[in-house]
Each structure stands twice: as structure tokens, then as C-alpha cells.
Structure 1
Amino acid sequence: MPNAPALLRPLLIAAGWLCVGLGVAGIFLPVLPTTPFLLLALWAFARSSPRFHHWLLSHQWFGPLLQDWERHRVIPIRAKLLAVAGMSGGMIWVTFFSAAPWYAAALMGVTVAYGAWFVLGKPSRRPDGLP
């Protein structure tokens, strides 16, 4: 049962689908992350739509990763490496190859550092020892 107020549910569903779209785009665009958007979508759907939440958890490609996150707060080592590599690549591109102002690059650096700290701080294996 969704736990968001009835008026908020359509907004959460829309945000969930926006995050799914951004997550899928992140598969093809190296600067855009996939996993954080899918986790946000999972969060939004959990509060607004059992149907979409179940769909995302049972998705052929995203489901296993999201199930491990929801049940055990686990991020597999491969996802960690891809996330940190993508964040680092994006940071290098913005810093050295874009016309972004220094304060935008600095803000991105702080955001990337927090994202890397968060991702790397989570366990890589489930409590039962399985990857």
C-alpha cells in the first residue's frame, strides 16, 4: 500500500518515470549515472504505486540490482566501479574540456565526492555472502 498522500502520488509516479528515463539514458551517456536514478525511481514507486514498484523490482536487467539494494542495501562491486569511473570521467571532462565556470566544477566536485563516498561506503555483498 502506498504511503504517500493521495495528492502527492501522481507527482511521485511522474518523478519515478522521469528517473527511469534518466536511468535508461545513463546507460548510453557516460556523464549521466544510471543507478542513482533507478534507486530514486524505486523510492518514488514504493511510495506511490505498488504496480510500478513491482515492475521495477522484477525488471529483467534492473531488478536484481534493485532487489539487493532494497533488501540489503548492497551495491555490487561492478556497479561501484562503473559509478566511480563514470563520476570521475564526468568530473575530468567538466574540469578540463568544458567551459564550465570554476564554481560549477567545484560544486560538481563536492557532489561527485559525496556520491563516491556514499557508493563506496555500502557493502558489496549480501549478508549471506552471495555477490
Structure 2
Amino acid sequence: MTLAPPQPEEPAPLARGPNRLLLLGLGYLCLALAFIGVLLPVMPTTIFLIVAAWAFGRANPALRARLRAHPRFGPSLRHWQDHGSIGPRAKRAALLGMALGWLTVTVIFRDLLASGIAGACMAAVAVYILTRPSHSAAGGS
């Protein structure tokens, strides 16, 4: 089974009623978690922005457009959503973060099973990240 990067898609139908409220709530929750990730190096940012953009795209496309237009986070978000690509700097940061996370688990728990499970999960994610196309910081694919 291969995990294909996301492809540009037609806009999904807008959610209505309670589903719209749930999606808005999820979008704002993920946006808050992304903000925390900006402040704390141990918390991811990008994945929460991706989920927030998805939720806003279904509930309020104007909010999704604002995320995609953000001067700092918009380019990476657009590259992922439009091309499935991850910049080299983001790849290095993700791999370094996972390595430090695995080291922390290994040192704190001192348990071979916990270290092995954490390492295997992080290695699988690392393979996924490394197999995504790269894009330049200047915006090329």
C-alpha cells in the first residue's frame, strides 16, 4: 500500500448545521494547537494547520483562504495541499524533532519495548516524510 500525496481537489460541499459547527470547532482547536506549536518546540505546528485548513475548507472557505494566504505558514500549507511536497528545512526539522523525541523516550523510560515501539513508529513516519517531494523555499516544486 502506498500513501499518495494529496492532489488538488475540487472544493468539497460545504457542511451545514451541526456538522458545520463541529468542523469550525475542530478548525479553531487545531489553529490554537498550531499556535502553541509555534511557541513550544516540542509541539508540531504544520499538521495542525493542515487539519485546520481542511476543516475550514468544509465549513468556511474564507477562513481556509486566510490560512493559505498567511505570509509565514501559507506557502508550506499551499505546497502540501497543492503538490504534496515538503520543504527540505521542514523535513530536517521533523526528523530532528523525532530523533530528539525518541532519545527522550529512551532516556526517561529506560524500557526496551517502549523505545522500540516509539522508534519503529518514528522510523515509519520518517520514511513517509523522506519520500515526499521537496520544494524550494523560493516556492518552486
Distance in 2 (CA, whole Å) between partners of 1:100 and 1:15 is 36
Alpha-carbon deviation of 1:24?
2.0
User: For residue 8 of structure 2, what is the aligned residue in structure 1?
Assistant: none
Alpha-carbon deviation of 1:75?
0.5
Q: In the TM superposition, what whole-angstrom CA distance separates every residue of 1:45-66 from its partner, at most 9, and x where no partner exists?
A: 1222101101100011111111
Is 1:16 the counterpart of 2:16? The answer is: no
User: For residue 133 of structure 2, what is the aligned residue in structure 1?
Assistant: 123
For 1:1-131, list aligned pairs within 5 A: 3=13, 5-6=15-16, 7-96=18-107, 98-99=108-109, 105-125=115-135, 130=140
Structure 2 counterpart of 1:116, one-letter code: A
Give the TM-score normalised by structure 1: 0.81
Structure 2 counterpart of 1:108, one-letter code: A
Distance in 2 (CA, whole Å) between partners of 1:15 and 1:101 is 35
Alpha-carbon deviation of 1:117?
2.0
Structure 1 unaligned spans of 5+: none
Alpha-carbon deviation of 1:44?
1.5
Q: In the TM superposition, what whole-angstrom CA distance separates every residue of 1:18-55 from its partner, at most 9, and x where no partner exists?
A: 11221222223222111111111122112221011011
Name the SS for the 1:108 alignment partner: helix
Structure 2 counterpart of 1:21, one-letter code: A
Structure 2 unaligned spans of 5+: 1-10
**How large is the RMSD of aligned CA atoms in angstroms?**
2.5
Name the SS for the 1:89 alignment partner: helix
Alpha-carbon deviation of 1:123?
0.2
Alpha-carbon deviation of 1:106?
4.6
Greater Rg by CA: 2
Structure 2 counterpart of 1:56, one-letter code: L
Alpha-carbon deviation of 1:111?
3.3
Distance in 2 (CA, whole Å) between partners of 1:64 and 1:124 is 13
Identity of matched residues, %: 38
- The answer to whether the Cα contact below 8 Å between 1:45 and 1:53 also exists between their aligned partners in 2 is yes
Distance in 2 (CA, whole Å) between partners of 1:38 and 1:79 is 14
Give the TM-score normalised by structure 2: 0.76
